[in-house]
Chains A and B, each alone.
Chain A
Amino acid sequence: GEDVEQSLFLSVREGDSSVINCTYTDSSSTYLYWYKQEPGAGLQLLTYIFSNMDMKQDQRLTVLLNKKDKHLSLRIADTQTGDSAIYFCAESFDGGATNKLIFGTGTLLAVQP
């Protein structure tokens, strides 16, 4: 079945690290994605990882992939108030060539000053 699960809410203090977790179900997923959505806006692609990778780092963002447990995480270092948003995890389904994405319900990240 197609299902991506995320925790609903995470609160951190400015300057701390944030870790947002996600579990997915399709072991044949080619790519896994993290998107950010601010109120009333579209989805901003933060980063994505190919399924044969374990880790990807891009400035303040670190993605870890555990294929055995079908677990994906996004770590944001030195979290800022501007990072407050909803973060969506998504897996590509039915092969990367067609990029049909299955999204989680999103994690609301609240950054306290």
Chain B
Amino acid sequence: DAGVTQSPTHLIKTRGQQVTLRCSPKSGHDTVSWYQQALGQGPQFIFQYYEEEERQRGNFPDRFSGHQFPNYSSELNVNALLLGDSALYLCASTRGGELNTGELFFGEGSRLTVL
């Protein structure tokens, strides 16, 4: 049983560019959340997708956007990249709604470096 998978694992971009990160949830999970982890800090919640809709959003600008597909996989898009966007981007999956048990699994992350 594959866990949460993310791609790419590493990427380098320059300021002003755009990036798309991808996530496939653990089998049986339908809810995907994205977190940003800067170096030396704990992860910060970006947003969550359930039933193909953004359900909650953290304190991140509109440059951060996302999408969830019918197969529950998700993308995180960041436009107009800044140096401060350099971080490990983590995807987490769980079962949403009434099936939620609190169990939340993370992927290995995508490490983004902005030059």
Interface residues of chain A, those whose CB is within 8 Å of chain B, are 4, 30-31, 33, 35, 41-45, 48, 50, 88, 90, 92, 94, 96-106
CB–CB B106/A43 < 8 A:
yes
Given contacts A31-B102, A50-B102, A104-B42, contact A99 B33 (CB under 8 A): yes
Closest 6 A/B residue pairs (Cβ): A103-B42, A31-B102, A42-B108, A43-B106, A42-B109, A42-B106
Given contacts A30-B102, A92-B102, contact A99 B94 (CB under 8 A): yes
B55 contacts A by Cβ under 8 Å: yes
How far is B42's CA from A106's CA once the two chains are assembled, in angstroms?
Answer: 6
Task: List B32-49 residues whose CB lies under 8 Å from chain A.
Answer: 33, 35, 40-45, 48
Shortest CB distance B66–A (Å): 14
How far is B107's CA from A50's CA once the two chains are assembled, in angstroms?
Answer: 23
Note all chain A residues with C-beta closer than 8 A to B62: none
Given contacts A94-B56, A98-B55, contact A105 B106 (CB under 8 A): no
Task: List B42-93 residues whose CB lies under 8 Å from chain A.
Answer: 42-45, 48, 50, 55-56, 58, 88, 90, 92
Shortest CB distance A86–B (Å): 9
B100 contacts A by Cβ under 8 Å: yes
Shortest CB distance A44–B (Å): 8
* In the complex, residue of chain A having the shortest beta-carbon distance to the beta carbon of B44: A103
How far is B92's CA from A108's CA once the two chains are assembled, in angstroms?
Answer: 22
12 further interface pairs, Cβ-Cβ under 8 Å (given A44-B106, A99-B31, A99-B48): A43-B90, A45-B104, A48-B102, A88-B42, A96-B100, A97-B96, A98-B55, A99-B33, A100-B58, A101-B43, A101-B104, A105-B42
